[in-house]
Structure 1
Amino acid sequence: MKIFYKTRATATGGRAGHTQLDDETLALDLAVPGSGKEGTNPEQLFALGYAACFDNALPFAAKQLDMEYSSSKTSVEVGIGILSSGGYALDIDLYVEITGLSQEDAEKLVAATHKTCPYSNATRGNVDVRLHTTVA
């Protein structure tokens, strides 16, 4: 694989600490959900990245399928839970709204995008990801 971009982040204090990009363009205080402390958590950060990445991969997949659509909106819900084996795992619902395609074509596009998106490729086989497609 040819790498064309790489970034690095550093965290201290775990889920109740601080994280920042090493180039200092983004820094956030972290908080455990339900702790009452102000801050974000890793699942929220993952949801932001996945939503942006998937929405950006849609035009690429549409071009491959020779489809044109008017607009899209991608939302990602990321949950975390305990596995029966005792470890932790993520659980993801991916909601994509497409304008300008039939329901059938929109579902084809979302399925094709799910095969293209780097986040989808990273989670495949490791995380339950459910696709939800709607047409506006």
Structure 2
Amino acid sequence: MPLESCKDQKSQTLIEFYTELSNRDGPPWNKIGNAMLKFIQMINEIFKETKIFGLTSHANLNLLSKNEYTSTWHVSIQASVLEGYHISHKDVKLFAKDIIEAKEHLLNAMIKSNGWPKSEELKRLQK
């Protein structure tokens, strides 16, 4: 199931938001936008069943299990201006040097955050 934009952030879809960033002249915004588009593509490729909602805060992408901006964000992703991704959940902050490592950290963060406890798909992917 593709990552969905939170219903309360109606002005742009997540893809539109990060595409706009990627089209800005020069770093760091264009680099961040491209990295986040790649991250969203990765989420959309691996999750077919799990409902995940995204809410942007500046250039960060916060992942929610409920489609409400007031709900708890379980995982937050920030593209590094140099290379890689910062992925955090609760008080844990991780760094992934590339999209492959980011996928591993994302799955671990989603499990440990307990935001999707009923997702069998997440449990299968994490093994």
TM-score range, shorter chain: under 0.3
Q: Which structure has the greater CA radius of gyration?
A: 1
TM-score, normalisation: structure 1: 0.26
TM-score, normalisation: structure 2: 0.27
More helix by share: 2
More strand by share: 1
